[in-house]
Chains A and B, each alone.
Chain A
């Protein structure tokens, strides 16, 4: 058991920063919220499509980034793909095989995938780790835009996030 007694409600336009030390259950919480794990006890209700960014990008390591992303863009039938790539500074990396990308570049690619998905609920697992300061600002701006459009963002991170009005949940308080 990682945590218990956690009650959490989020509405349109809200962002929440889930804090906690390594191993406290941030990733587990995110996977449970997404419906990928079943909680041992309790219930999770959500309305709207869920998008996850975590350490696994689901991009084929052998393919060039452009091709690997195109698969998800096709599934998502997304039409703003180029904008997302431009915003995240990935345009010049499209021909580079995914396995040669750095941690930060992979994270950007995962975020581009998320933008294409057009999901209402963003569950971001350590979205800032490995990013340089410029990219961190871009990501925070993306989260702000998403929430301004009525989206929900839950960010699990041990880092501080420079975001006004961000609610915080300390997951360690619910640890068993």
Chain B
């Protein structure tokens, strides 16, 4: 039962099946490309600030898929039909969380390599950046899922979800990007811990939000 659900969620989010997952990655790379144009080609400046820019780009890229993450399936009645088949909202949301992360987390981590080259990041910085993204993107996915579920039944949900994600993602950004400034892997532990907590809570919060939307 789990496997077809994950497959369906991935197909809906992934690039090659008509989904829009290529978009966050292209957006992420576009920001990395734009930054040197905006601040000038000073190699030292780029190397110093580039990591932070990658984090902000990752945060913004995580917002892009939110409008199609949950609202569409509520409209189609998919969660109702799943519920009738004994699949609770929590399980649906756990699957959705996994698919959402898979559709933007690993692609962003891969895209961080060319982004690092564009921003003149050295090897050790890239190392911390990649670990940070690996630890932080599941948390971003979890926040995104909770927000997408909460705002699914609102008319201006899509615009609102981007606005809501930014403050909630602040702790991940502070510790993730902070690790780059201090060249310190230890604070990545905080990022991982925050992510873990968010991933554990998200299916329950998102499931409750979907039930609430159904009772309307």
Partners in one complex: yes
Query: Are B81 and A52 neighbours in the complex by a CB distance under 8 Å?
Result: yes
Say which size band chain A's interface belongs to: 20 to 34
Query: Are A58 and B1 neighbours in the complex by a CB distance under 8 Å?
Result: no
Query: Are A60 and B76 neighbours in the complex by a CB distance under 8 Å?
Result: yes
Query: Are B77 and A57 neighbours in the complex by a CB distance under 8 Å?
Result: yes
Residue B170 at the chain A interface, CB threshold 8 Å: no
Query: Are A38 and B215 neighbours in the complex by a CB distance under 8 Å?
Result: yes
Residue A162 at the chain B interface, CB threshold 8 Å: no
| A58 partner, pick from B4, B18, B80, B214, beta carbons under 8 A | B80
Query: Are A36 and B214 neighbours in the complex by a CB distance under 8 Å?
Result: yes
With A and B bound together, what is the CA distance between A38 and B12 in angstroms?
31
Q: How many A-B residue pairs have CB under 8 A?
A: 51
Query: Are A75 and B1 neighbours in the complex by a CB distance under 8 Å?
Result: yes
- Give the contacts of B76-129 with A (CB-CB under 8 A): 76-78, 80-87
Query: Are A71 and B8 neighbours in the complex by a CB distance under 8 Å?
Result: yes
Residue B75 at the chain A interface, CB threshold 8 Å: yes
Query: Are A56 and B18 neighbours in the complex by a CB distance under 8 Å?
Result: no
Query: Are B214 and A37 neighbours in the complex by a CB distance under 8 Å?
Result: yes
With A and B bound together, what is the CA distance between A36 and B74 in angstroms?
13
Query: Are A56 and B80 neighbours in the complex by a CB distance under 8 Å?
Result: yes
User: B79 — nearest CB in chain A belongs to which residue?
Assistant: A58
- In the complex, chain A residues whose CB is within 8 Å of the CB of B12: 60
User: B84 — nearest CB in chain A belongs to which residue?
Assistant: A50
- In the complex, chain B residues whose CB is within 8 Å of the CB of A126: none
| New A-B contacts (14) at CB < 8 Å, excluding given A36-B83, A58-B78 | A34-B84, A36-B80, A49-B84, A51-B84, A52-B80, A52-B81, A56-B77, A59-B76, A61-B76, A75-B1, A113-B81, A117-B84, A117-B85, A119-B84
21 contacts across the A-B interface (CB closer than 8 A): A34-B80, A36-B83, A36-B84, A37-B214, A38-B215, A49-B84, A49-B86, A52-B81, A54-B77, A56-B75, A56-B77, A56-B80, A57-B76, A57-B77, A58-B76, A58-B78, A58-B81, A60-B12, A60-B76, A62-B18, A119-B84
